[in-house]
Amino acid sequence: MNRKDDPVAPEEVTLSTVDESHFEQLRELYAVTWRATYEDLVGSSVVSDMVAQLSGPAVGGMAPAGVQVFGAYLPNGRLVGASIVREAKGVAYLWGMYVLPPYQRSGVGRRLMTAATDSLTTAKAVEVRVLKKSLGARSFYEALGFVVIREEDEEMFAGVVERLLVMACSRT
């Protein structure tokens, strides 16, 4: 699908929380965006293993209890983006910020970030971890005011360790 072929303008995309009744759409969103985002960076077999985990409860752990999931929906109800945030001890942790490729660079990601951060009550800072190899993700978060605060190796998936950038943004 190509955005220019889609009659819906990005500003017509509505944001709302995602509940369990939409988890199947969330699984589909992750499967598509993970393949588009990670296959060239970590390999298709790793991504296939990651996608297989989505069938588990709470979308394979991507939406456990205590997190807030925000979705970007087309007027027809199709989920085109999602962000997940959780507050703990004055810090909000963002993960699972994904937008379908045709809607990237359209403002949907920024709107999802705003929805996630506007929902925060106690966090003084927001942190996100991105693959060091993912220049697009790093650029996106830097444009939103995030800075790299450290690098770390993390097991993304059983036996798959990748170098991550921990990026943070103050909420003053």
pLDDT tens string 76-127: 999 999 998 989 888 999 977 899 999 988 899 999 998 888 888 889 999 9
The pLDDT score that the predictor gives to residue 8 is 61
Query: Domain count of the chain?
Result: 1
CATH of the domain at 55: 3.40.630.30
Average pLDDT over residues 124-140: 92
Q: Tell me which of 23 and 59 has the higher pLDDT.
A: 23
The pLDDT score that the predictor gives to residue 3 is 44
Full-model pTM: 0.83
The pLDDT score that the predictor gives to residue 58 is 59
Residue 15, domain extent: 3-170
Give the chain as a 3 state SS string: CCHHHCCCCHHHCEEEECCHHHHHHHHHHHHHHHHHHHHHHHCHHHHHHHHHHHHCHHHHCCCCCCCEEEEEECCCCCEEEEEEEEEECCEEEEEEEEECHHHCCCCHHHHHHHHHHHCCCCCCEEEEEEECCCHHHHHHHHHCCCEEEEEEEEEEECCEEEEEEEEEEECC
pLDDT-derived band at 159, boundaries 50, 70, 90:
confident
The pLDDT score that the predictor gives to residue 6 is 53
pLDDT tens string 6-32: 546 666 889 998 888 888 898 899 889
Mean pLDDT of the chain: 85
